[in-house]
Amino acid sequence: MTGTIMTEKRMSRWYFGGLASCGAACCTHPLDLIKVHLQTQQEVKKRMMGMAIHVVKNDGVLALYNGLSASLCRQMSYSLTRFAIYETVRDMMGSSSQGPMPFYQKVLLGAFGGFTGGFVGTPADMVNVRMQNDMKLPPELRRNYKHAIDGLFRVAREEGVRKLFSGATMASSRGAMVTVGQLACYDQAKQLVLGTGMMGDNILTHFLSSFIAGGCATFLCQPLDVLKTRLMNSKGEYTGVTHCLRETAKLGPLAFYKGLVPAGIRLIPHTVLTFIFLEQLKKYFGIRIIS
C-alpha cells in the first residue's frame, strides 16, 4: 500500500496586492516625490540629491511625505485593481491547466490588468502629482489640498469630473507597461530562478526576481511616465497627449528619459518591497490549497 504525499500551497487573496503596494509606498514615497519634482522642472537645474536637499531645506523633512495620502489612495485603486485582475486570472488558468502560464499570456494579462488599473487610479494619481508638486509653486498658485479625498472633491467641484481623468490614456498605457514589467517579468524571473534548482522559494529568490522585474518596469514605462506627469501637472499648456508628445520631443529624445535614475531608484525598491510584502502576506494569510 503506497501513501500519497500531500503538498500545501498558498494562494494570494485578491486584495493582497493593494496592501503590499501601500506598504511599499510608505517606504518609497520620498523618492517618488523627488522624481515628480525632477520631471516637472523645465530645464535641468538640479539632480536627485540637490532636489532632495532643496526640498528639506525649504520645507522641512516632513515635506518629503507631501501627498502620502494620495499615494496610498492611488495604490488602493490602481495597484489593487491590477494585482486583483492579474493574480486572480493567473491562478484560475494555472489551476485549470495544471502548469504555469506561458510568458506571452502573462504579458497580455499584465497589460490588460495594468491598463484597467491605470484608468481606475487616474484621479488619485493626478491628485498625488499635484500634492507632491504644490510646494514648488508660488504661495498664490498653490492648491493646498488637505488630503487625497479633499483633492478629489475639489477637482471635481472646481474643474469638473472630466478633469479627474486628465491624462487617463497616458496613465492607463503606463499602467499596462509597469504591470508587464513588474508582474509578468516577476513571475517569469521567479519561475526561471526556481527552475535552476539552485534556490528555493525563499526571500532571496523573491528579492532577485523582483529586482529584475523593477528594472524591466522602469525601462518600459519611463517615457510614458514623463508625459503623464507633464499632462497631469499642466495648467492648460498642452491641448492633449499628441501636443505634449511634440513639445517634449523638441527637448530631444533624452527628455523622455528625464529622471530615469531616480525613477529606477524609486521603482526598483518599490517593486522589491511590494513583492516581498506580497509573498509574506501570501505565506501567512493566503488561501491554503492542499494537493
Per-residue pLDDT of the chain (291 residues; tens, 9 = 90+): 455 566 677 888 999 999 999 999 999 888 888 877 777 766 656 777 888 888 888 888 888 888 788 889 999 999 999 999 999 999 888 766 667 889 999 999 999 999 999 999 999 988 888 887 787 778 888 888 888 899 999 999 999 999 889 878 888 988 999 999 999 999 999 999 999 888 989 999 999 999 999 999 998 888 887 887 787 777 778 877 888 888 888 888 788 888 788 778 888 999 999 999 999 999 999 888 776
Q: Report the SS3 class of residue 49.
A: helix
Number of domains in the chain: 1
- Looking at the domain assignment, is residue 103 inside a domain? yes
C-alpha dihedral over 246, 249, 251, 255, to 10 degrees?
Answer: 130
Judge whether 223 lies within some domain: yes
| 2: in domain | no
Task: With respect to residue 136, please indicate whether it lies within any of the assigned structural domains.
Answer: yes
pLDDT of 1? 44
Structural domain span for residue 236? 9-290
Alpha helices in the chain (DSSP H): 16-40, 48-59, 68-74, 80-97, 103-120, 122-133, 148-159, 168-179, 185-195, 203-233, 241-249, 260-285
Instruction: Kindly report the number of other CB atoms within 10 A of residue 92's CB atom.
Output: 10
Q: Which three cell numbers stand for residue 181?
A: 514589467
In a domain, 129, yes or no: yes
Query: Which pLDDT score is estimated for 98?
Result: 66
Please give the Cα distance from 145 to 134 (Å, whole number): 9
Computed on alpha carbons and rounded to an integer, the radius of gyration of the chain in Å comes to: 20
- Phi then psi for residue 290, to 5 deg, are -105, 125
* Four-point Cα dihedral 183, 273, 36, 261, nearest 10: -80
Do the beta carbons of residue 112 and residue 53 sit within 8 Å? no
| Residue 77: partners with Cβ closer than 8 Å, 6 or more residues away | 117, 120, 121, 123, 124
The CA distances from residue 94 to 56, 83, 260, in Å, are 48, 16, 35
Residue 4 falls inside a structural domain: no
CATH label of the domain that carries residue 120: 1.50.40.10
Is pTM, for the whole model, over 0.85?
no
In a domain, 249, yes or no: yes
Domain presence at residue 1: no
How far apart (Å, rounded) are the C-alpha atoms in residues 142 and 97? 54
The set of cell numbers assigned to 163 is 478633469
Residue 76: per-residue pLDDT: 94
